[in-house]
Amino acid sequence: MSDEKDMSRRELLRGRFLAGIVGAVSEVITNRLDALKNLDDREEIPQKSIAPPEIIKQESIVARSKLKRAFPVHRPPGAVDEPTFLAECTRCGDCINACPHDAIILAPDRFGEAAGTPMIAPADAPCHMCEDFPCIAVCEPGVLTHDVPKVMGNARIEPFHCLAHNGSICTDCFDACPVPDALLLNEGLPEIIDDKCTGCGVCHNVCPAPSNAILITPLPERPARTIS
């Protein structure tokens, strides 16, 4: 009799266990069906219209032109933004002839679309920042103008190569700098003041270190000409 009771109890527990599993599975299936029904009941999402091929091509060209950056060129003082400079410079050579220090030259062929336009090579002949800026005065198209800051580039001292930073007495860059307060001496060590420096390249040109200690880089971008 005891065995029959144990048998009945096990069967009862097994039945409850199986019923629980069946109930859980049934609930999952019901939830899935409800979710699918909700998807079917959703409003149809409008598809994005596709532009004609010619419009897509035009938009692609415009996007690429915006991403394209002009090649950095060390321009004379007062140069406007590079796209305007390239578009309006007449390649007349008047600024070259007007420069009393022979600092302005024609960009060589390797400069691509900038070839033949006026530039400065500080290692050979830097800009001396003339007070009257004769190069600006003779520029008829106005791509050299007083309407923009006369900043051409950036200068940076490499302490590893600088004689003063390595125990020698040297003030050549400080003595030659034509821009007031653009280059100072701090306990005998040259220091470039970024917001004063014009990137003229004089300091780079006079540096006597075996490996030039002053790096000059042209401005990557220049401001547009002010239209009054």
| pLDDT by position in tens, the chain (length 228) | 455 555 555 554 455 545 555 455 556 555 655 655 555 555 454 554 555 655 544 554 444 444 345 578 999 999 999 999 999 999 999 999 999 999 999 999 999 999 999 999 999 999 999 999 999 999 999 999 999 999 999 999 999 999 999 999 999 999 999 999 999 999 999 999 999 999 999 999 999 999 999 999 999 999 988 765
**Contact predicate 153/74, CB 8 Å:** yes
pLDDT in tens, 125-163: 999 999 999 999 999 999 999 999 999 999 999 999 999
Distance CA 195, CA 144 (A): 21
Determine, yes or no, domain membership for 65. Answer: no
- Domain region containing 206: 152-220
DSSP one-letter code for 58: H
C-alpha span between 190 and 211 (Å, rounded): 16
| 9 occurs within a structural domain | no
Do 76 and 137 lie in a common domain?
yes
Q: Which of 106, 121, 150 is the last residue of a domain?
A: 150
pTM score of the predicted model: 0.68
Question: Who's near 189: CB < 8 A, 6+ residues apart?
Answer: 162, 164, 165
In angstroms, the CA 175 to CA 182 distance is 11
Residue 158 domain-assigned (yes or no) = yes
Q: What's the mean per-residue pLDDT of the chain?
A: 82
133 and 203 inside one domain:
no
The answer to whether residues 119 and 75 touch, using CB atoms and an 8 Å cutoff, is yes
State whether 130 and 187 are in the same domain.
Answer: no
CATH number at residue 162: 3.30.70.20
Does 140 share its domain with 159?
no
Domain closes at, from 130, 150, 170? 150
Domain count, the chain: 2
Where among 122, 150, 178 does a domain terminate? 150
